[in-house]
Amino acid sequence: MTTVGSSGADAFVGAVAVTLLVVMCGQWLYRSKRLRRWQERLRSRVGLVRELIADGERTKTAYADSSDPSSAHERFLRRCDSSLREQFGDSFARRIDAYSEFEWIQPATLISDEQVFAWYDTERRLKGLRELLHEALLDLALSDEWRELGQGDRRIARTKGTEHP
């Protein structure tokens, strides 16, 4: 529908502008939804890794008092491995399993070879888990920055009077 003083070309330009606006809003909504899902997944992973680290620390302190530290160690390995495979996939579980870069000082409270091995292997895995936690927290911080950038774009648009959803 045209009004007095407007042409079909003006109506066409208006329709194109509205279409572009709708498409851009749809893309923004899609991206923000994906970002929220990614953040939720990252938060879940951070919680899991923190839980595994706490479990490892509790297990490690039990070695000195345990008559069978290797079975306690084996149970921790199974819990850790299954949780990592479930939440992160096989590649992360293998990465933690293969992790070996750290300096270790044997605690004086460890007496048997089983206690020493269990402590050492648990400490090695905890070091890998801490690195994984650090990476997940960095990803989460980056996603928060992305979300804030999107919020900043909306605030800027509001002040200019051309608000995006």
Which residues are CB-contacts of 24 (< 8 A; sequence separation ≥ 6)? 164
| Cα 103–Cα 109–Cα 112 angle in degrees, nearest 5 | 90
Number of helical (H) and strand (E) elements in the chain, helices listed first: 4, 0
The larger pLDDT score, comparing residue 110 to residue 87, is at 87
Estimate to the nearest angstrom the gap between the alpha carbon of 97 and the chain centroid.
20
Q: Three-state SS for 136?
A: helix
What is the rounded average pLDDT for all residues in the chain? Answer: 77
Predicted confidence band at 31 (pLDDT cuts at 50, 70, 90)?
confident
Above 90 in pLDDT, residue 51?
yes
Give the mean model confidence (pLDDT) for residues 53-62.
88
For residue 54, pLDDT over 70 is answered with yes
Query: How far is it, in rounded angstroms, from Cα 157 to Cα 165?
Result: 10
